[in-house]
């Protein structure tokens, strides 16, 4: 009589374990474990940040767009800020694809994480300023987000 565990025979349990392992390997491959693909995905997210800052800057400097556009931009900034640490897996620095990420990212992960936290903390302030609709408050909050961008670019990115 075959032993049973959690209602599975030994053979059934082995088949289930192998199937789960195969699924997990396939899922990891589908998520882009290729370092160059990870760099490209990271760059796509950074372009979203750039576009959000352009939207905010256009409202503050040129009066184009609306406070609602700024609030949507702040939501994008918050969303991407929450992803940033996961966008920098080890092995995706300079020399991989078009990466401009310096080794300092991984050598000083705590400092890198703190710079990212500054962005995550600044984004809600931008959203709150957009709720008020006050251009000067939005401009001040935008400076906070911009400073958080500089915190990473100045220390963890190849200088342009």
pLDDT digits (tens, 9 = 90+) for 95-146: 999 999 999 999 999 999 999 999 999 999 999 999 999 999 999 999 999 9
Does one domain contain both 24 and 89? no
Rounded to two decimals, the pTM is 0.77
Does one domain contain both 5 and 39? no
Does one domain contain both 83 and 121? yes
pLDDT digits (tens, 9 = 90+) for 54-82: 999 999 999 999 999 999 999 999 999 99
What is the CATH number for 145?
Answer: 1.20.120.10
Mark 7-38 as b/e (b = at least 16 C-beta within 10 Å): eeeeeeeeeeeeeeeeeeeeeeeeeeeebeeb
Does one domain contain both 119 and 62? yes
pLDDT band per the 50, 70, 90 thresholds, residue 19: very low
pLDDT value of position 160: 84
Range of 135's domain?
A: 35-156
Does one domain contain both 97 and 25? no
Does one domain contain both 20 and 41? no
Helices (H) and strands (E) in the chain, counts: 6, 2
Ordered DSSP codes for 26-63: HHHHHT--SHHHHHHHHHHHHHHHHHHHHHHHIIIII-
The number of domains in the chain is 2
Does one domain contain both 57 and 42? yes
pLDDT value of position 24: 39
pLDDT band per the 50, 70, 90 thresholds, residue 16: very low
Q: Taking 70 as the threshold, does the pLDDT of residue 29 lie above it?
A: no
Does one domain contain both 70 and 146? yes
Does one domain contain both 149 and 118? yes
Does one domain contain both 114 and 51? yes
Please name every residue paired with 157 in a beta bridge, in sequence order, or none if there are none. 101
Please name every residue paired with 8 in a beta bridge, in sequence order, or none if there are none. 5
Rg (CA), the chain: 22
Does one domain contain both 41 and 27? no
Does one domain contain both 16 and 73? no
């Amino acid at each position: 009589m075959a032993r049973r565990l959690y209602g599975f025979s030994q053979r059934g349990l082995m088949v289930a374990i192998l199937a789960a392992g195969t699924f997990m390997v396939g899922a990891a491959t589908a998520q882009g474990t290729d370092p160059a693909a990870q760099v490209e995905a990271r760059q796509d997210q950074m372009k979203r940040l750039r576009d959000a800052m352009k939207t905010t800057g256009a409202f503050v400097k040129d009066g184009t767009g609306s406070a609602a556009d700024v609030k949507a931009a702040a939501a994008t900034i918050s969303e991407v800020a929450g992803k940033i640490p996961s966008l920098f897996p080890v092995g995706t620095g300079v020399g991989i694809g078009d990466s401009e990420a310096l080794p300092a990212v991984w050598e000083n992960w705590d400092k890198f994480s703190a710079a990212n936290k500054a962005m995550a903390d600044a984004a809600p302030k931008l959203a709150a300023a957009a709720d008020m609709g006050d251009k000067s408050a939005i401009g001040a909050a935008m400076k906070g987000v911009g400073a958080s961008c500089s915190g990473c670019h100045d220390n963890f990115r190849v200088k342009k």
